[in-house]
Structure 1
Amino acid sequence: MSSRPRQILDLDAATVRRARTLARRAGKPVVDLARSHTTVSVERATLRLAGLAGADHENVPWVNHLVDAVREGVGLEHGVTLPVWDALRRGEAPDLLTLAQKAASGGVRFEVPQGKAATAAGRAGRTAIARGIRTIDRQRAARDRLIARHGNPPRKPWIYLIVATGDIYEDIPQAQAAAREGADIIAVIRSTGQSLLDFVPEGATREGYAGTYATQENFRLMRAALDETSKELGRYVRLTNYASGLCMPEIAALAGLERLDMMLNDSMYGILFRDINPIRTFVDQRFSRQVHARAGIIINTGEDNYLTTADAVDAAHTVTVSQLLNEYFAKEAGLENWQLGLGHAFEIDPTVKDSFRLELAHALLARQLFPEAPLKWMPPTKHMTGDIFRGYLLDGFFNLAGAMTGQGILLVGMMTEAVVTPWISDRDLALQNVRYVMDAAGGLTEDFHPPRDGLIQTRARQVLGEAVELLDTIVTDTSTAGVPPLLAAIADGTFGSMKRPPTKGKGLDGVVRKADGYLNPATDLLETGETR
């Protein structure tokens, strides 16, 4: 998917290996923590895979009702599968939906079965959940067929454009228009604050603020519309949404069921910028990435956000550290290189001397550290002033940097950033900017060779060296007994200048340590690759 420039930075191979080794050492204790815990959202996602959908008259999802009832009755230490399918086998209800409805009014008695009863309940739960996994498999196969029929975009990078009016029925024609104007990926940004909702809204929605709610029906509607446009244009148009926040596992499951192609899914974004509990986030992101791996979904990570709260020059190495950690967490969960849309951004203050040369150094470093990954390159936002002419020029420089360094996914910058939510005409002008630069300079990655030991090579090596130093500091820190070093670093404000301790944050009350005998067939099926 990515253009792969030759190794023109002369990075020291031993330093690169050490960076990955340190990232693995920093990440493994967090993975161990995620393996030993579950969350209410993981359990709700499991029920969604088993087919439980819908909501009550107050729009509270049935999965929330059922998980809450199980937790109140027997706890979640053993997961929901055993008590739920044991209740069904004991005749508490004829099906999963009726069980959830009865449980909402306190009309179900739950137990954690033992012996043969546990075996039978686990087998029945696995059968139901496996049907959802097979649906995800069929959707992945359908994507492959459509790509074979319609084709991929004829050039790289793929052009990524955001559409989000708040009304899904307004989003659809805007998304189709954007695709006709050249967008390869349509991202439907979520309504402000949805990441802090501990439930997934139901149905088609028309009232989002600065974005559109992520719901299963909205996913279905937009995917169907873009399938029509893909057929019209003769190229497969990809759809993106956000698997982050308190319902990360559930939204990942819904994305797999409805054939989304990419999902925003960063290992630390929710911790740093939404104050979601770190343990909750790492447990949820591991499960969500296992779903994405199975669904063939490309994840997009959020390193660009660090540079909105920290200086893009001083904190450049923290972006590299986060990319290395995201790579480790993603591969541990089963994602492949082609699914790693690691994030980085064009956010250096343009008044800084040699700012464009420094941007090239940072972009090349990311490109060469992750040569097989479809890196997601983010346009300027922090230093957009409302001067639309200056903004249009900055976006042109951003597009040029993408062309010169072989980025894989190029998010379209808007000259009206910091002024208004873009109009269709604004998006058209922005796409014209991209098309001009790519037509005029799209092959520059073949010709661009910064001089040996010049500013660009020297800066890239400096950032890599600082990243290794930071990772080494993280893994050797023993000042906080019993806390994984990475969690201690997050608590100290290492990333994005945000201090987030593991004992605080939203959603902590939804984290549960697994007991002996915990069972989740969804996790088992995702980890083994089995279908039944």
Structure 2
Amino acid sequence: MSTLELDPTLVARARELAARAAQPVVDLARRHTTVSVERAVLRLAGLTGTDPVTGEGRVEDRVPWVNRVVDAVRDQVGLEQGIALPVWHALTSGTAPSLQALAEQVGAGTARFEIPADPEPARLAARDAVAAGLARIDANRRRRDELVATHGDPPRRPWIYLIVATGDIHEDIPQAQAAARAGADVIAVIRSTGQSLLDYVPEGATRTGYAGTYATQENFRLMRAALDDVSAEVGRYVRLTNYASGLCMPEIAVLAGLERLDMMLNDAMYGILFRDINPRRTFVDQRFSRMVHARAGIIINTGEDNYLTTADAVDEAHTVTVSQLLNETLAHEAGLADWQLGLGHAFEINPDLKESFRLELAHAMLARSLFPDAPLKWMPPTKHMTGDVFRGYLLDGFFNLAGALTGQGILLVGMMTEAVVTPWLSDRDLALRNVRYVLDAAGGLTEDFAPPKGGFIDRRADTVLREAVDLLGRIADHPEGLIQAIADGTFGITKRPPDGGKGLAGVVELAAGAYNPALELLEAVHA
């Protein structure tokens, strides 16, 4: 595969500055917990279900037990020590025979929590309970490996990534299976609009999502089982994607591991910039969620493509590179390997700009050369889709060709009606024909495509990399690092202050003696 000969000193400098710029948010994450991190601990320990007393109507609107328990502990003793000590002290002291029974006491208003004088019995019990959940995640990782060995991987890269999202999981399943039969290698079930802003995870199989389907444990289970069936039918392992972002990022990461999802959208800054979720909340949650993804063998997809929907894809190209380097740094710190880094970028340059395709190739080759072992996720045009379906179909063909030429790892299928209307099933079928034709006809061109040193593509990539290093230097030199860069509007021309946004009330500074058994077990493997 052809890559550019980037200046190795410049590349090393970029990674050094990315590490410095990211360190303040790593330190922040280590010093804090959140309500969602603590709820994730309870989910790993096996607590599921909702409080029937507090929920009426649709099952997905009922309050989960994990929320009720964390809220009760916070109200009675605070979360500065974490959830594990007060909850498992109640269990080991005989207050309740099981975690479920304790949750029901919370629902009845009779549970009483305290921080134990001797924390060791609670620590050991909590560790054992969470270890059982992690053992299930480990078993799912082994099962994935077995199924890949049995059915095989797709015969070529990039993998074809297709979205389904009817709002009804029972409608999503046949569409996902049909997409796999038509050539899709990865099925993404996008979430119902606004789920990222819910501070709880809905429960059960859902049929009422808007412009997407709720991410729930049961929906994950149903879709994974359906894709296992179609994997056996088509003779390749079909991967499943959902979204570990928003206010419940850690919990959704845990549910993905428990139900053997294969990829998760998980970007360090997307929720901050595009959903106005508090930066501190996001960075604490994303570190925990990525540690779970690392353990589960899940590939993350980052969201740099979104910057180019709000900022100019040429003028701000270097901010994409900066974000990729920061996402890489934060992912490595959380234990993710290079093969799990589906770093994002997109084909979003104005097609009316002269040499636009050459510029797209330069940006794609820069990413491919900077991250040679990462399965980069290449996103189709959306910003400049106009409703002219013939022009849109041509743009998608050029996008597919750029992905083939530059060796991208994950190719999201573009549709000619993208960003104009919700695509019809026939639009998706045409889009799959487009990508299949290009990959079949030109997929091997990556062996032959070698832009010359000093040529247009090489010069453009060097320019973007140097601009990225300059920006990283400015971020690294600021005492607040990345937090301040976000406040200044560096990414996606969107300003988000550190004390603003949704979810800040759910962030808690840890006290001496705080204990999180999940972090202890995850960090032990990472170390």
Question: TM bucket by the smaller chain?
Answer: over 0.9
1:501 corresponds to 2:504:
no
Summarize deviations over 1:437-465 as a string: whole Å, max 9, x none.
Answer: 01111111111121221111110000000
Letter aligned with residue 137 of structure 1: D
Distance in 2 (CA, whole Å) between partners of 1:69 and 1:56 is 13
User: The residue matched to 2:452 in structure 1 has which SS?
Assistant: coil
Summarize deviations over 1:198-218 as a string: whole Å, max 9, x none.
Answer: 000000000101100000000
Q: What is aligned with 2:422?
A: 421
Query: Do 1:69 and 1:104's aligned partners in 2 also have CA atoms closer than 8 Å?
Result: no
1:124 corresponds to 2:119:
no
Q: What is aligned with 2:15?
A: 20
User: The residue matched to 2:87 in structure 1 has which SS?
Assistant: helix
Summarize deviations over 1:233-278 as a string: whole Å, max 9, x none.
Answer: 1100000000000000000000000000000000000000000000
Summarize deviations over 1:1-31 as a string: whole Å, max 9, x none.
Answer: xxxx233x22100000000000000011110
Distance in 2 (CA, whole Å) between partners of 1:447 and 1:350 is 25
Deviation beyond 3 Å, 4+ runs, structure 1: none
Q: Cα distance, 1:56 vs. partner?
A: 1.8
User: The residue matched to 2:191 in structure 1 has which SS?
Assistant: coil
Q: Cα distance, 1:511 vs. partner?
A: 0.1
Summarize deviations over 1:173-194 as a string: whole Å, max 9, x none.
Answer: 0000000000000000001000
Query: Do 2:487 and 2:496's aligned partners in 1 also have CA atoms closer than 8 Å?
Result: yes
Letter aligned with residue 348 of structure 2: E
User: The residue matched to 1:529 in structure 2 has which SS?
Assistant: helix
Distance in 1 (CA, whole Å) between partners of 2:151 and 2:210 is 34
Letter aligned with residue 221 of structure 1: L
Distance in 1 (CA, whole Å) between partners of 2:266 and 2:311 is 21
User: The residue matched to 2:33 in structure 1 has which SS?
Assistant: strand
Q: What is aligned with 2:25?
A: 30
Equivalent position to 1:81, from 71, 81, 84:
84
Query: Do 2:380 and 2:413's aligned partners in 1 also have CA atoms closer than 8 Å?
Result: yes
Larger mean Cα displacement after TM superposition, 84-93 or 309-318 = 84-93
Letter aligned with residue 114 of structure 1: A
Q: What is aligned with 1:361?
A: 362
Query: Do 2:2 and 2:449's aligned partners in 1 also have CA atoms closer than 8 Å?
Result: no
Q: Cα distance, 1:70 vs. partner?
A: 0.2
Summarize deviations over 1:128-152 as a string: whole Å, max 9, x none.
Answer: 1110000000000000000000000
1:92 corresponds to 2:88:
no
Listed as ranges, the gaps of 5+ residues in structure 2 are 56-61
Query: Do 2:51 and 2:107's aligned partners in 1 also have CA atoms closer than 8 Å?
Result: no
Distance in 1 (CA, whole Å) between partners of 2:423 and 2:170 is 17
User: The residue matched to 1:460 in structure 2 has which SS?
Assistant: helix
Q: CA RMSD in A?
A: 0.9
Q: What is aligned with 1:43?
A: 38
User: The residue matched to 2:205 in structure 1 has which SS?
Assistant: coil
Q: Cα distance, 1:280 vs. partner?
A: 0.4
1:106 corresponds to 2:109:
yes
Distance in 2 (CA, whole Å) between partners of 1:456 and 1:156 is 23
User: The residue matched to 1:202 in structure 2 has which SS?
Assistant: coil
Query: Do 1:41 and 1:246's aligned partners in 2 also have CA atoms closer than 8 Å?
Result: yes
User: The residue matched to 2:97 in structure 1 has which SS?
Assistant: coil
Q: What is aligned with 1:314?
A: 315
Identity across aligned pairs (percent)? Answer: 75
Summarize deviations over 1:148-179 as a string: whole Å, max 9, x none.
Answer: 00000011110000001000000000000000
TM-score for both structures, normalised by structure 2? 0.97
Q: Cα distance, 1:105 vs. partner?
A: 3.4
Letter aligned with residue 111 of structure 2: V
TM-score for both structures, normalised by structure 1? 0.96
Aligned residues: 518
Q: Cα distance, 1:477 vs. partner?
A: 2.6
Distance in 1 (CA, whole Å) between partners of 2:92 and 2:257 is 29
Distance in 2 (CA, whole Å) between partners of 1:35 and 1:177 is 44
Distance in 2 (CA, whole Å) between partners of 1:93 and 1:477 is 50
Larger mean Cα displacement after TM superposition, 359-368 or 88-97 = 88-97
Distance in 2 (CA, whole Å) between partners of 1:422 and 1:214 is 21
Q: What is aligned with 1:481?
A: none
Distance in 2 (CA, whole Å) between partners of 1:10 and 1:176 is 42
